[in-house]
């Protein structure tokens, strides 16, 4: 009798565990990618170099990230670097003299098995220009699929997201600085992906006298009806 009771108890425990697993699996499927279980992201390597051009009289001081065996990420970073250097050299053609410097460092915003988000800020110091110039060439990447993450891919199919994001950013900037800036499509492409927000960067000078770029976050909670 004791053996029968023990077997019955074990059977009930197994049945309960199976039901619990089924429920957990169902909940996991229903939560979506942002709530999915994630793991630590890939190892980031920092690559740095310095270069001086004695013909055009400029210097480069660059640090950028790389991930071993993730060529899509590395190619995007290199392409952005090339674009930034080309923008800089085209800009300084209108100015004479020495001391033109392009510097860049990156900041790792998020690094999980599903999202590696990197802010890469480029600063131009050019004699004859009253303030530093800034450009952002950020990279958002899914290590699991080994594909870049575009801004549009974060939103549900059919959602016209640019006007929505622009409105959100104008509201946040106006509340913080009491100015009403124009938000461009280029501004939207400065996005990075945080744990529970999208962050964008914009220079507000001269409307705001500080020439440094400002960061503005749009929480996922404000976009939950339109995000994937």
Query: Any idea of the CA torsion for 145, 149, 152, 156, to the nearest 10 degrees?
Result: 40
What would the pLDDT profile of 72-91 be if each residue is shown by its tens digit? 999 999 999 999 999 999 99
> For residue 24, is pLDDT > 80?
no
Which comes out higher in pLDDT, residue 21 or 176? 176
Residue 23 pLDDT exceeds 60: no
pLDDT of residue 22: 36
pTM of the model: 0.82
Question: In this predicted structure, what is the pLDDT of residue 208?
Answer: 93
- Closest C-alpha to 165, from 228, 109, 217: 217
Integer angstrom CA distances of residue 146 from 66, 114, 153, 168 = 13, 9, 14, 30
Question: What value does the mean pLDDT take over residues 115-138?
Answer: 96
DSSP string, 184-216: PHHHHTT-EE-SSEEEEEE--TTTSS--S-EEE
**203 φ/ψ angles, rounded to the nearest 5 degrees:** -85, 125
pLDDT-derived band at 66 (thresholds 50, 70, 90) equals very high
Q: Pick the more confident residue, 26 or 178.
A: 178
| Rounded mean pLDDT, 60-70 | 98
Kindly tell me if the per-residue pLDDT of 98 is higher than 90.
no
* Average of per-residue pLDDT values in the chain: 87
Query: Residue 6 — very low, low, confident or very high, per pLDDT cuts 50/70/90?
Result: very low
Of the pLDDT bands very low, low, confident and very high (cuts 50, 70, 90), residue 11 is very low
| Spatial distance between the Cα atoms of 114 and 36, rounded to a whole number of angstroms | 9
Structure letter (DSSP) for residue 33? G
Contact of 120 with 78, CB cutoff 8 Å: no
Q: What is the DSSP string of 113-177?
A: SS-EEEEEEEEEE-TTSSS-EEEE--EEEETTTTEE--SGGGB-TT--HHHHHHHHHHHHHHHHH
Measured in whole angstroms, the distance separating CA 134 from the mean position of its chain's CA atoms is 17
Each residue's pLDDT tens digit, 46-58: 999 999 999 999 9
Residue-range domains of the chain with CATH: 37-149 (3.30.565.40), 153-228 (no CATH)
pLDDT tens by residue, 130-177: 899 999 999 999 999 999 999 999 999 999 999 999 999 999 999 999
* pLDDT at position 36: 60
């Amino acid at each position: 009798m004791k053996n029968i009771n023990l077997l019955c108890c074990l059977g009930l425990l197994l049945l309960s565990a199976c039901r619990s697993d089924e429920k957990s699996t169902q909940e996991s499927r229903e939560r979506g990618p942002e709530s999915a279980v994630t793991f630590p992201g890939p190892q980031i390597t920092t690559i740095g170099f310095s270069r001086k051009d004695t013909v055009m009289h400029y210097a480069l001081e660059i640090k950028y990230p790389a991930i071993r065996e993730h060529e899509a990420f590395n190619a995007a970073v290199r392409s952005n670097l090339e674009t930034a250097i080309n923008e800089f050299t085209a800009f300084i053609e209108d100015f004479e003299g020495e001391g033109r410097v392009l510097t860049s460092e990156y900041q790792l915003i998020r690094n999980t098995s599903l999202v590696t988000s990197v802010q890469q800020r480029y600063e131009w110091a050019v004699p004859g220009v009253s303030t530093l110039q800034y450009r952002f060439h950020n990279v958002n990447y899914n290590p699991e699929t080994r594909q870049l993450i575009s801004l549009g891919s974060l939103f549900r199919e059919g959602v016209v997201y640019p006007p929505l994001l622009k409105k959100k950013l104008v509201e946040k900037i106006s509340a913080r600085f009491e100015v009403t800036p124009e938000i461009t499509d280029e501004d939207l492409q400065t996005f990075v992906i945080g744990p529970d927000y999208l962050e964008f960067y914009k220079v507000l000078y001269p409307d705001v006298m500080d020439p440094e770029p400002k960061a503005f976050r749009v929480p996922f909670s404000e976009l939950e009806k339109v995000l994937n």
